[in-house]
C-alpha cells in the first residue's frame, strides 16, 4: 500500500457537489499525476464539513489548511503551490468577516472553535464510500463489543446511563425506549431509522447519512441486538439521492464483510437493513404515519398508545429512532456512559447538530455541546449578523418551534430550556433573523407550510391552521383587528389541545411565540397599520417629497406600471392605487426624494 504524505480532503456533500466538487476531484487527480505525485498524495472525497455556504471546501492534511470556494481550475495552483512549493494559496483561504484577516487552519476559524463533533465525527474526515476508512476509525468495534462482551440489558444500561435523548424532536430517553421494545415479547421485531427530515431548511440527517452511513448501520444493528430485532428499515425521502446511494454502497460493503447478515462476528446474531422510500411529506416523519407509509397505507398518523415500541410495523414491536440519535450510539458504547454524560447540561447530555441558516455570516452545519448559549452559536460560531444589521430573533424547532429574542440569548440550549421559552429543540433547524424580518410574516410562513403539510385527518389541524393562516394574512394586509388578535391566540390553543398528532399539536407554536415575544409588532400591524420591519408590502407606501424632487423624470421612466406622473422639472407624484411597491423608483432617485412610509 502506498504511504501518502499528503491527503487532500475534498467535500463530497450535496452542497459542494452542486458547485462542481466532483470536477475538483477529477482535476486534482490529473494534475497530481502530471507532477508524478500519485504515490505521495491521496485525494479523498469526504462528507460535509458543515461550511457548505463557502463550498466547495478542500482541506489539506497534515497541515490542516482549509480552502474555501474552490473551483476546478484551482487544482493546478493547489498542487504546484501548496504541494510542490509548500506555499499556501492565499486567495483560497477563508476571510474572517470581522477582522478581514485570512485564516488558514480550520481550528482557528470561529466557526469550528466551539464545536464538538460526536455525531459528525467522521463527516469531512473519512471517505463514506470506503468501509475500510470507517473500520480504521474504530468502526463496527462497538457492535463487536456489544455482541461479544455485553448482554442486551447491559448494553441498554450504558445507553440509559449516558442520558442520550432522541434527536428527532421529542427528546424521549433513547435507552428507555430500547428497553420498552426489548420487554415486549414477539416473534419478529423491527428497528427503524427515521430519515424523513421534513423541517424546511434542515439537512443534519442528510449530511450524516452522506458523510458517515456506516455509523447509522452499526447503531441499528446494536439496537437490533438490544431489542431482539433482526430486521432494520431506513425510511428515507426519495429527494435524497446521494444519501440513498451512499447507504446502498455501505449496506453492500457491510454485507460483504459479514458485518450485516447472518452470524455476525461468529456470535449467531443476525441482522440486515433495507431501505424504504418516502415521498417527502412532513407528516410522514411522525412515527406512526411513517410506519403506515412503510406498510403501503396512507401516511396518516394514528392515536398513541399503542406506541410503536409495543405495536408498530405490521403490528410488531418497532423501535423508531432518528438518524442523529443513531450516530451517537457507537461512540457511547466505546467511550462509555460516563464520558458522554459529562458533556451537556443536567437533563440534556451530549451534543446537538444544528443547521444554522438565515441572516448570519457563517451558515452551515454545526455540532455543539448541549448548554451552549444561543449567543455563542449566533455570534461566535455564526460570526454575527450579516451586513452589520441588528439581531432580532432566532427560530428553533422548525414548524413546531418558536421564535426567541434578545432576552433569550444567554440561556443554555437544551430540551427543557427551549420548551420553557415557548420554543423547542426540534430536529435542529435554527434560522436567524435581523431587524428587516417581520415576525407576523414569519409566523405566516410557517403556517403556510403547515397548511400544505397537514394530512387532513383531524378537523382542528386541517381547518384550524387554515383559519390561522387567513388571520395572519389579514394582519399582513393591514386589515386585522384587535379581535383578530384574541381569536388568533384562542384558536391556537384549541388546535394545540385537540389535534391528533404532533403536527397539529405544535403547529400554532410559531404564532404563539411571536405573539408573546413581539406583541408590539402585532399591535403595530393592527393599530397603526404599520409593519415596523417594512416587510409587509400592503402596509407601506412609496412617497415623493415635493421639496426634494427636482423633476428629473428618472423615476417615472423606471416605474414598470406607470404609477408616477409629473412634468419635467416639476415635482412628481406616485399614484398609490397603481403602485405595486416594486421599489425601483426608490433605488433610482439620485436626490433622496422618495421615501418609504
Please report which residue ranges of 184-228 form alpha helices under DSSP H: 204-211, 213-227
Cell of 331: 461512540
Question: What does the buried/exposed string (b/e) look like for 171-192 if buried means 16 or more CB atoms within 10 Å of the residue's CB?
Answer: bbbbbebbbbbbebeeeebbbb
Q: Whole-angstrom Cα distance, residue 306 to residue 317?
A: 10
DSSP letter for each residue of 534-588: S--GGG--EEE-TTT-----HHHHH-TT--EE--TTS--EE-TTT-----HHHHH
Contacting residue, 55, 168, 299, 301, with ligand SF4 by CB under 6 A: 301
> Considering CB distances under 5 to 8 angstroms, the limit depending on partner class, which of ligand FMN, ligand SF4, ligand FES, none binds residue 456?
ligand SF4
The answer to whether 530 contacts ligand SF4 (rule: CB under 6 A) is no
30 makes contact, choosing from ligand FMN, ligand SF4, other proteins, none, with CB < 5 to 8 Å by partner type, with none
Segment contacting ligand FES by CB under 6 A, of 37-45, 251-259, 326-334, 555-563? 555-563
292 counts as binding ligand SF4 under rule CB under 6 A: no
Which one, 235 or 542, has the nearer CB to ligand FES?
542
Query: Rounded to an integer, what distance in angstroms lies between the CA atom of residue 508 and that of residue 511?
Result: 5
Q: Quote the least distance from Cβ 500 to ligand FMN, whole Å.
A: 10
Cα–Cα–Cα angle for 408, 414, 418, rounded to 5 degrees = 45
The pattern of x and - marking residues 51 through 80 that bind ligand FES according to CB under 6 A reads: xx--x-x-----------------------
Residue 555 contacts ligand SF4 per CB under 6 A: yes
From 182-190, 263-271, 309-317, 494-502, give the range in contact with ligand SF4 by CB under 6 A.
494-502
Query: Of residues 9, 44, 49, 139, which one binds ligand FES by CB under 6 A?
Result: 49
Q: How far is the CB of 19 from ligand FES (least distance, A)?
A: 9
Interface with ligand FMN (CB under 6 A): 166-170, 172, 194, 196-198, 282-283, 285-287, 320-322, 325, 427, 501-503
* Minimum CB distance to other proteins, residue 254 (Å): 10
User: 222 or 579, CB closer to ligand FES?
Assistant: 579
496 binds ligand SF4 (CB under 6 A): no
In angstroms, the CA 85 to CA 77 distance is: 10
- Rounded distance between C-alpha atoms, residue 46 and residue 56, angstroms: 12
Which helix (DSSP H) or strand (DSSP E) does residue 493 occupy? helix 482-498
CB distance 303 to 188 below 8 Å: no
Pairing between strand 573-574 and 564-565?
Answer: antiparallel
Residue nearest to ligand SF4 (CB): 504
Tell me which of 191, 233, 259, 458 binds ligand SF4, using CB under 6 A: 458
Query: Phi-psi category of 565—alpha, beta or left, where left has phi over 0 and alpha has psi -120 to 50?
Result: beta
Residue number with CB closer to ligand FES (13 or 228): 13
Task: Tell me the C-alpha distance between 400 and 504, whole Å.
Answer: 9
| Helices 141-149/213-227 angle, 10° precision | 10
CB 545 → other proteins: shortest distance, Å?
51
Beta partners for 144? Answer: none
Q: 428, 204 in Cβ contact below 8 A?
A: yes
Q: Is 238 in the site for ligand FES (CB under 6 A)?
A: no
275 binds, among ligand FMN, ligand SF4, other proteins, none (CB under 5 to 8 A by kind): none
- Minimum CB distance to other proteins smaller for 133 or for 406: 133
| Contacts with other proteins, residue ranges (CB under 8 A) | 1, 3-5, 7, 9, 61-64, 83-88, 107, 125-126, 132-133, 135-141, 144-145, 147-148, 256-259, 265-266
- What is d(CA 296, CA 276) in angstroms, rounded to the nearest whole number? 10
In angstroms, the CA 353 to CA 343 distance is 14
45: Cα separation from own chain's centroid: 22
Nearest CA among 168, 326, 178, 302 for reference residue 250: 326
Q: Which stretch binds ligand FES (CB under 6 A): 134-142, 400-408, 524-532, 557-565?
A: 557-565
Nearer to ligand FMN, 8 or 202 (CB): 202
- Tell me the closest approach of the beta carbon of residue 530 to ligand FES, in angstroms: 18
Which positions touch ligand FES (CB under 6 A)? 11, 13-16, 48-52, 55, 57, 542, 559-561, 563, 574, 579-582, 584-585
Which positions touch ligand SF4 (CB under 6 A)? 283, 301, 454-458, 461-462, 499-501, 503-504, 544, 549-555, 572, 589, 591, 593-594
Amino acid at each position: 500500500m502506498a504511504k501518502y504524505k499528503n491527503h487532500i480532503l475534498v467535500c463530497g456533500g450535496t452542497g459542494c457537489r452542486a458547485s462542481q466538487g466532483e470536477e475538483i476531484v477529477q482535476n486534482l487527480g490529473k494534475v497530481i499525476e502530471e507532477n508524478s505525485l500519485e504515490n505521495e498524495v491521496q485525494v479523498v472525497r469526504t462528507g460535509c464539513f458543515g461550511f457548505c455556504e463557502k463550498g466547495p471546501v478542500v482541506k489539506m492534511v497534515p497541515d490542516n489548511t482549509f480552502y474555501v470556494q474552490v473551483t476546478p481550475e484551482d487544482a493546478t495552483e493547489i498542487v504546484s503551490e501548496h504541494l510542490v512549493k509548500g506555499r499556501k494559496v492565499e486567495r483560497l483561504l477563508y476571510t474572517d468577516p470581522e477582522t478581514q484577516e485570512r485564516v488558514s487552519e480550520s481550528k482557528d476559524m470561529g466557526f469550528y472553535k466551539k464545536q464538538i463533533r460526536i455525531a459528525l465525527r467522521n463527516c469531512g474526515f473519512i471517505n463514506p464510500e470506503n468501509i475500510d476508512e470507517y473500520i480504521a476509525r474504530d468502526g463496527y468495534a462497538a457492535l463487536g463489543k456489544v455482541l461479544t462482551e455485553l448482554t442486551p440489558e447491559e448494553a441498554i444500561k450504558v445507553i440509559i446511563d449516558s442520558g442520550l435523548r432522541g434527536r428527532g424532536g421529542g427528546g424521549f430517553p433513547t435507552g428507555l425506549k430500547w428497553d420498552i421494545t426489548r420487554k415486549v415479547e414477539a416473534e419478529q421485531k423491527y428497528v427503524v431509522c427515521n430519515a424523513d427530515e421534513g423541517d424546511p431548511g434542515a439537512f443534519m440527517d442528510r449530511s450524516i447519512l452522506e458523510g458517515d452511513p456506516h455509523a447509522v448501520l452499526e447503531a441499528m444493528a446494536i439496537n437490533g441486538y438490544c431489542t431482539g430485532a433482526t430486521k432494520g428499515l431506513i425510511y428515507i425521502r426519495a429527494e435524497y439521492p446521494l444519501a440513498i446511494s451512499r447507504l446502498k454502497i455501505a449496506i453492500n460493503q457491510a454485507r460483504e464483510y459479514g458485518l450485516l447478515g447472518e452470524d455476525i462476528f461468529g456470535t449467531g446474531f443476525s441482522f440486515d437493513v433495507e431501505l424504504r422510500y418516502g415521498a417527502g411529506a412532513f407528516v410522514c416523519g411522525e412515527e406512526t404515519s411513517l410506519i403506515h407509509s412503510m406498510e403501503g397505507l396512507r401516511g396518516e398518523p394514528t392515536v398513541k398508545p399503542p406506541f410503536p415500541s409495543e405495536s408498530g410495523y405490521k403490528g410488531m414491536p418497532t423501535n423508531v429512532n432518528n438518524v442523529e440519535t443513531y450516530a451517537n450510539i457507537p461512540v457511547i458504547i466505546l467511550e462509555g456512559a460516563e464520558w458522554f454524560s459529562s458533556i451537556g447540561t443536567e437533563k440534556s447530555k451530549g451534543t446537538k447538530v444544528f443547521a444554522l441558516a438565515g441572516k448570519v455570516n457563517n451558515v452551515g452545519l454545526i455540532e455543539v455541546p448541549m448548554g451552549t448559549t444561543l449567543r455563542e452559536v449566533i455570534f461566535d460560531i455564526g460570526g454575527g449578523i450579516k451586513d452589520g444589521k441588528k439581531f432580532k430573533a432566532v427560530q428553533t424547532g422548525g414548524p413546531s418551534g418558536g421564535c426567541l429574542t434578545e432576552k433569550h440569548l444567554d440561556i443554555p440550549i437544551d430540551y427543557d430550556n427551549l420548551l420553557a421559552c415557548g420554543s423547542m429543540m426540534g430536529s435542529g433547524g435554527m434560522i436567524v433573523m435581523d431587524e428587516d424580518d417581520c415576525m407576523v410574516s414569519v409566523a405566516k410562513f410557517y403556517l403556510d407550510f403547515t397548511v400544505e403539510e397537514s394530512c387532513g385527518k383531524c378537523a382542528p389541524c386541517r381547518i384550524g391552521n387554515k383559519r390561522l393562516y387567513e388571520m395572519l394574512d389579514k394582519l399582513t394586509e393591514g386589515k386585522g383587528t384587535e379581535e383578530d388578535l384574541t381569536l388568533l391566540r384562542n384558536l391556537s390553543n384549541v388546535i394545540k389541545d385537540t389535534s391528533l398528532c404532533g403536527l397539529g399539536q405544535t403547529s400554532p407554536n410559531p404564532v404563539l411565540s411571536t405573539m408573546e415575544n413581539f406583541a408590539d409588532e402585532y399591535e403595530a400591524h393592527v393599530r397603526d397599520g404599520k409593519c415596523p420591519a417594512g416587510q409587509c408590502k400592503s402596509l407601506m407606501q412609496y412617497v415623493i417629497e415635493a421639496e426634494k424632487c427636482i423633476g428629473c423624470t428618472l423615476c417615472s421612466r423606471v416605474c414598470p406600471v406607470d404609477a408616477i406622473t409629473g412634468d419635467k422639472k416639476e415635482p412628481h407624484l406616485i399614484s398609490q392605487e397603481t403602485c405595486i411597491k416594486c421599489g425601483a423608483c426608490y433605488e433610482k432617485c439620485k436626490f433622496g426624494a422618495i421615501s418609504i412610509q
